[in-house]
Amino acid sequence: MKEIVALDVGGTHARFALAAIADDGAISVGEPVTLKTGDYASLQTAWEEFERRCGAPLPRAAAIAIAAPIVGDTIRMTNNSWIFHTRGLVDQLGIDAVTLINDFGAVAHAVASVPEDQLVHITGPEGPLPAAGTISVIGPGTGLGVAHFFRHSGGYHVQSTEGGHMEFAPLDSIDDRILAKLRAQHQRVSTERVHAGPGIMEIYRCLAELEGRAPDLTDNTTVWQKGIAREDSLAAAAVDRFCSSLGSVAGDYALAQGASAVVLAGGLGLRLRDLLPTSGFGERFRFKGRYTQMMSGIPVKLIIHPQPGLYGAVAAFMTEHPQ
Task: List, as residue ranges, the binding site for ATP.
Answer: 7-12
- Alpha-carbon distances, residue 215 vs 82, 209, 210, 263, 278 (angstroms): 38, 8, 11, 33, 26
CA distance 248 to 264: 13
CA distance 226 to 312: 32
Residue 311 in contact with residue 21, Cβ under 8 Å? no
Residue 118 in contact with residue 303, Cβ under 8 Å? yes
CA distance 264 to 140: 8
Q: Which residues contact 254 (CB under 8 A, 6 or more apart)?
A: 136, 262, 285, 295, 298
CA distance 180 to 80: 32
Q: List the helix and strand counts (H, then E) for the chain.
A: 11, 14
Binding-site residue positions:
7-12
